[in-house]
Amino acid sequence: MQTPLTNIRHLSLPDIKEQLTTQGQQGFRAKQVYEWLWQKSARSFDDMTNLSKDLREWLKLHYEIKAVVVATKQISVDRTIKSGFKLHDNSVVEGVLIPSNSRMTACISSQVGCSLTCKFCATGRMERLRNIDFDEIYDQVAIIKQQCETDYDQPLTNIVYMGMGEPLLNYANVLKSIEKITSPEGLGMSPQRITVSTAGVAKMIKKLGDDGVKFNLALSLHAANDEKRNKIMPINETNSLEALAEALIYFYEKTETRPTYEFIVFKDFNDSLHDAEELYQFTKHVPCKVNIIEYNPIDDAEFEQTTPARLERFSRYLEGKGVIVNVRRSRGKDIDAACGQLANKVVS
């Protein structure tokens, strides 16, 4: 029976060096291999052109690169690109490149499916099959980075962990992927250009504070009273607004990073001035920003998009209270790539 190959990206640089020198290779070869894996995003050992053919063949005999591949690619009329990423076990997740005038943003997934069953989200209707490994998360970024450069001749500027899954329920892999993406030995991106979005796992928000993370945090809030939030986000039953406020205060004290609250406005559910006042009261816990997001309808959903007039009145009310508000217009709706729409619809 053949010995299973080792995933070389799960080895540290010292590990690779030790194993290569044991085989009589010079130590500097390990650094070359490591650079190919994390700086140059090599998809196979054959890509490592400054290594001898013999060494490449030896690497193939003992190791594997579980590279993510693009199974499907759709381009929206607004130039948004949605990719179906096939993982090594044939699972498929989706990622999105969102181009705008000032930035190129990669929206990536952290889990295959999701366990949180938020009522307004297509991904929440899927079963959570597994967490995505850190190297698979890294690959999503590397592929979208390449799409930026080849399709639009632009550099990737921002990354948001807002695709499929709850990032804080895959904590270790998410943080290790960010380490590879931000490291000078990896993609070298600034952590200030990365945002991790959570539906609200209070104890893990506190852990982010304990770990002193440098990236941004976004909380998918969508209602600022427990009764309404329980209805649309079952996670609120075990992570109440009071618990989240306490965790956010702790996070802010530890990191001095202002969280962003994401708030989708639904017609006749959370779009009144009373709802805006409740949101304003929640913003007083820590310095923050609020992203007002228009709802993207999904099949058989009970919610509708609010009217432009009510959305405008809602955001104006918050601004009048001194809250920093951005109204986010959805991108990629025609290819089901907008917020809350990722559900592998087009992948067989």
SS3 263: strand
Residue 169's contacts (CB-CB under 8 Å, 6 or more residues apart) are: 111, 115, 131, 201, 204
SS3 75: strand
Residues 335 and 77: beta-carbon distance below 8 Å: no
Look up residue 237 and give its amino acid: E
Residue where the block lists tokens 């290779």: 25
DSSP class of residue 119?
T
Closest by Cα among 81, 111, 125 to 197: 111
End-to-end CA distance of the chain: 33
Closest by Cα among 177, 174, 157 to 166: 174
Residues identified as active-site: 94, 339
CA distances from 132 to 77, 173, 190, 216, 260 (A): 30, 7, 22, 20, 25
* Residues β-bridged to residue 112: 130
Across the chain, the runs of DSSP E, i.e. the strands, are 6-7, 63-64, 69-75, 81-86, 92-99, 104-107, 111-112, 130-131, 158-161, 194-198, 216-220, 260-265, 289-294, 324-328
